[in-house]
Amino acid sequence: MPAVPPHRGLIRALLALFRGSDRAAGGLARLCTTLGQVALVCLGAHLAADHLDDQLLRGFFAAQAWLDLTLAGPLLRFSEAVGARYETLLFWDDLPLATLAAWSALIVELVACALLSASFLLTPRQVRLSWAAWRQALSVHALVLPVALSGVLSAGAWSMSMAVEDLLPAATWASVIAWIVAAAVGLRFGLPAWLRAVAALERSGKPLRDLAVALGILPLGLLAWQHGVPLWGWLP
C-alpha cells in the first residue's frame, strides 16, 4: 500500500477538524437558541404570575368574605346547638391567604412554563406554517396556544428590554436601545419558537386533554398580554 504524503495527511486532519468544529458550533448554537427560548418563556410567565398572585389573593379574600356572610349565621346556631366552639368552625378565617395565593401562582407558573416550552421543544425544527393544516387542527388548544404563547414570549422580550434600560443611563437613547433589544430578542428567540409550536399543532382527538392544557396556559397568557406588553398604554 503506497504511503500517504505527509502534507495530504495534514490536510485531511485539518478538514476533519473543521468539519467537527462546524458540527460542534452548530450544536452549540442550537442549544443556546433552545435555552434562550425557554428562558424567554420563563421570564414572560414569571412577569404574568406576579399579577396572577394579586388576582388570586383578591379572589381568596372575596371567597372568605362570602363564606363569612353565608355560613356565619348557620354555623353560630349549629355551635350553640351542639356546644361546639364557634371560632373553630370558621376555619377559613385563619388560613394564610397570602401564602396560598403565592403558592398557587407558582404552581400555575410552573405548569404553564412546562406546557408552553413543550409546545415547541417537542416539535421538529424545520416547520412550515399552513393555514389549511391549522384549520384541520382547530380545537380549543389550537385557538388558545398561539395567543398565550405569543403573549408570554412578548412579555419575556419586553422584560429583557426593561432590564437593559435599567442598566443604561437615564436618556432618550436608552429607551431606543431597549426597544431594539426587545425586537432583536423577540425575532431571534420568540418568533422561531412560536412558529414551531403553531406549525406543529394537530388535532389530538382528546378534547378533555386539550381543554385542560388550554386552561393551564390561558391565565398567564392573558395576563402577559395585559401587563407584560406595553400596548395598552398607547391606546386612548
Q: Which pLDDT tens digit goes with each residue over 9-36?
A: 556 555 555 555 556 555 677 788 888 8
From CA 112, how far away is CA 149, in angstroms rounded? 10
Host H or E run for residue 117: helix 97-121
Host H or E run for residue 92: none
* Within a domain: 39: no
Give 129's Cβ-side CA count (13 Å radius).
10
* Within a domain: 9: no
Length of the chain: 236
* Within a domain: 216: yes
- Would you say residue 111 has pLDDT above 70? yes
Residue 184 lies in domain: 47-223
Average pLDDT, the chain: 78
Residue 33 phi/psi, 5-degree rounding, is: -65, -45
Q: In the prediction, which pLDDT does 45 show?
A: 92
Mean pLDDT of 37-50: 91
* Within a domain: 42: no
- Would you say residue 74 has pLDDT above 80? no
Place of cell 426587545: 182
**More confident of the two residues 189 and 171:** 189
* Within a domain: 179: yes
**More confident of the two residues 62 and 126:** 62
- Would you say residue 236 has pLDDT above 90? no
DSSP readout, 217-228?
HHHHHHHHHHHS
83 dihedral zone (left: phi>0; alpha: psi -120 to 50; beta): left
Mean pLDDT of 113-118: 92
Q: In the prediction, which pLDDT does 202 show?
A: 76
Comparing 62-66, 131-135, 178-182, 217-221, the range with the smallest average pLDDT is 131-135
Geometric angle at alpha carbon 27, from 25 and 30, rounded to 5°:
110
- Would you say residue 162 has pLDDT above 60? yes
- Would you say residue 41 has pLDDT above 90? yes
Helix axes 207-227, 140-167, angle to 10 degrees: 30
For the chain, how long is the longest CA-to-CA vector?
107
* Within a domain: 12: no
**Total structural domains in the chain?**
1
* Within a domain: 198: yes
Whether pTM exceeds 0.85: no
* Within a domain: 229: no
